[in-house]
Structure 1
Amino acid sequence: MTLDPALVKAFAPTGTLRASINLGNPILANRDPVSGQPFGVSIDLAQAFAGHLGTPLELVVFDTAGQSVEAVSDEHADFGFFAVDPKRGEKIAFTAPYVLIEGFYLVRDDSPIRTNAQVDDARNRVAVGKGSAYDLFLTRELKATEIVRAPSSPTVVQTFLEQNLEVAAGVKQQLEADAAKAGGLRLLDERFMVIRQAMGVPKSRGEQAAALLRAFVEAMKRSGWVADALARHGIQGASVASLE
């Protein structure tokens, strides 16, 4: 299908499509320890979308979700991969989600906290990644608990341990991996939220651009491409979102 050149230019005004990549979510993006190059489902999707538009691709890589969101909001990148959140939606037009990711709480083995409901207590402090979807969600939802913001999502458990906090919150798989390394930690039995991971474009690029990105995501889900990408990268605990 030949796309309207004006629509392609709306997405890539510099001639190169700039994708904002967040390495703070290890389910979707990581950096190869040998080559240093980013890889993962987000990168594969970015490459596929650039191919759809017929443009060169540039990866603009960040360590945190907050930085990645800011790059797209400020149009230093042309699109990105984010958890859907109303605050972020002020400047970014989101697609429907393509992947669902679970958020969990982590505590020490000897913690008296056994349920999610017990977390929201003035005696507790919760570590979250600064600017992450968990930060935004828990800032709205927790009424009594103090939120302590780690520099990034991958440093949440480190912050939790170093500051002797009561709870850590984040991506289930990241917490499980960190708990296995540290020992003496456990996840609570149920998730506290589901992250609706979507693609997004600055609202200033126009409704036609947003509609094109939404249609692309639906096509990738419908064709089985997203499921194949999760399997190809060995991702466990994330599921393909339903079609809109």
Structure 2
Amino acid sequence: MTVSAEIPQTHKGEAHASNLSGRLNWLRAGVLGANDGIVSVAAIVVGVAGASTNSGAIATAGAAGLVGGAISMALGEYVSVSSQSDSQKALIEKERRELAEDPEAELEELTQLYEARGLSRETAATVAAELTQKDALGAHLAMELNIDEDDVVSPWHAAGASALAFTLGAVLPLLAILLPPASMRVPVTFAVVLIALALTGALGARIGGGSIARATVRVVIGGAVALAATFLIGMLLHTSGAVA
């Protein structure tokens, strides 16, 4: 009778995919990028609306904030991820070189690492030998550095995703301030933005496994303070005559 090996079923609600952490980080970064776009552009357009009812001025300021913010987010993400990517690639090449120059020493190192995790010497040696035979580099990267050769981050992908997330978030307050009648612009924008922030806060907490209520309250209060502050500044500039 032939017995086929089956992949163990994971517990419901538990994620065991090797790249799950990376996917969650991307999702979280996307939510944060959209949140930044919402708050920053909303604060700009509400501030201008507090000083002027001119639709052209509001649209110009909002568009400038959207484009400038998206580019800034993309550049910042590109620089940050480039450093991370370069570091990962250097570590991978170092490990590959060490395996080529002294495979026996590397096998012993892997065995000792498994021993340090609680395996007996015999079991650790068996595990290390089998993993080395299958994928020596992958085994060392996973055990020593907790990285995967296939998961090296792309600076271009990160920059594009960051710019896109920011843009999607920024479009919302820009439309909310321009579409309603002049007398309703600010109240509608406040309402739309705070609802959007509540949703992004809840989604971010859901992804991160934190308290949805606390995260939602934090982001809504922070957004409300930002909008109120910029609107007040705009009103003060208008009242003082600094802005016609």
Give TM-score scaled by structure 1 length: 0.24
Larger RCO (CA within 8 A; separation ≥ 6): 2
Bigger CA radius of gyration:
2
Q: TM-score, normalised by structure 2?
A: 0.24
